[in-house]
Amino acid sequence: MARHTVTLIPGDGVGPEICEASVRVLEATGVEFDWDVQQAGENVMEQYGTPLPSHVLDSIRKNRVALKGPITTPVGTGFRSVNVALRQELELYACVRPVKAYRGARNLRDDLDLVIVRENSEDIYAGIEFEKGTPDCRRLLEEISALSRKRIRPDSGLSIKPISVSGSERIVQYAFDYARHYGRKKVTLVHKANIMKHTDGLFLAVGREVAARNPDVEFEDRIVDNMCMQLVQKPELYDMLVLPNLYGDIVSDLCAGMIGGLGLAPGGNIGTEAAMFEATHGSA
């Protein structure tokens, strides 16, 4: 039997304990692993001056698959999310979050079985931000106010929400390919195109074009706030959801709550050259 070399990032907080248990489970399958252990997060800041040293990325690029424990992300201040940086640096554009009810868990209902596909590289999580009061932020506020003819309060911070044709096409096609491969019958695209017509509207328009090229899988769309209500009231109507980055983050956690919590909601981050699998909860 072939051995598999996998980058193992224990993380911090409860991360090492979770990774140790995960390794035991994986090795109990009889598959042979060589674990390439790499450290990332706030516990390496003092040594390397960054929470994500370059050799960690090099290891994942070499091995092409990683298992990662939770890594602390400071709230409001401090370094940016290591999780987001890993996805961006390695082009892990698809976040796959299965939602399945297991016997004995605190399920909202026992027949829950759907898959969430979240776009991982764009949207408000792209990390294009401008701090309140800085010269760059003030200049952008003035320019955007002039271009849009809408006044933005001068004491504002800014975050930019880019959504591209290529990024949208890639993630929606991934959802259709996944559905076809795993026998899923329907893809539901989730958006807020009624309000954000040039970003979410673009995501929806591209999604409809992709759906037209995949007629063997049923397609529909839902506005994100309505989607949240539908998932609580009638989750049996949904099979696969595909969402932009922010909505995918929120809705996948909502669905985790329906099957007993984040501890029962794994995540896979998939790219063309590498994949990273992780616990989806925090490090506390």
Per-residue model confidence as pLDDT tens digits over 230-246: 999 999 999 999 999 99
C-alpha distances in Å from residue 149, one per residue of 129, 137, 158, 199: 21, 17, 17, 19
The predicted structure's pLDDT at residue 77: 53
Q: Is-catalytic flag, 192? A: yes
Taking a C-beta distance cutoff of 8 angstroms, is the pair 64, 5 a contact?
A: no
> Which residue, among 13, 2, 1, 25, has the nearest Cα to 277 in the 3D structure?
25
Report the alpha-carbon distance of residue 56 to residue 49 in Å, rounded. 14
Of 12, 68, 125, 238, the catalytic one is 125
The residue annotated as part of the active site, out of 68, 178, 192, 238, is 192
Look up the pTM and report it.
0.91
What is the reported pLDDT for 72?
Answer: 81
- Clarify whether 249 is annotated catalytic: yes
Contact present, 223 and 276 (Cβ < 8 Å):
no
125 is an active site residue: yes
- The reply to whether 34 belongs to the active site is no
Q: Which long-range contacts (CB under 8 A, 24 or more apart) does 261-269 make?
A: 261/106, 264/102, 264/105, 265/97, 265/98, 265/99, 266/97, 266/98, 267/95, 267/96, 267/97, 268/95, 268/96, 268/97, 269/86, 269/87, 269/90, 269/92, 269/94, 269/95, 269/96, 269/120
How much is the average pLDDT of 34-38?
96
Pick the CATH number of 91-122+163-261 from 3.40.718.10, 1.10.10.10, 3.40.50.12660, 3.40.50.720: 3.40.718.10
Catalytic choice (12, 123, 200, 249)? 249
pLDDT of residue 177 exceeding 90:
yes
Instruction: Cite the residue boundaries of each domain of the chain with CATH code 3.40.718.10.
Output: 91-122+163-261
71 phi-psi bin (left φ>0, alpha ψ -120 to 50, beta other): beta
| Residues 110-158: tens digit of each pLDDT | 899 999 999 999 999 888 999 999 999 999 999 999 999 999 999 999 9
Residue 76 confidence (pLDDT) above 60:
no
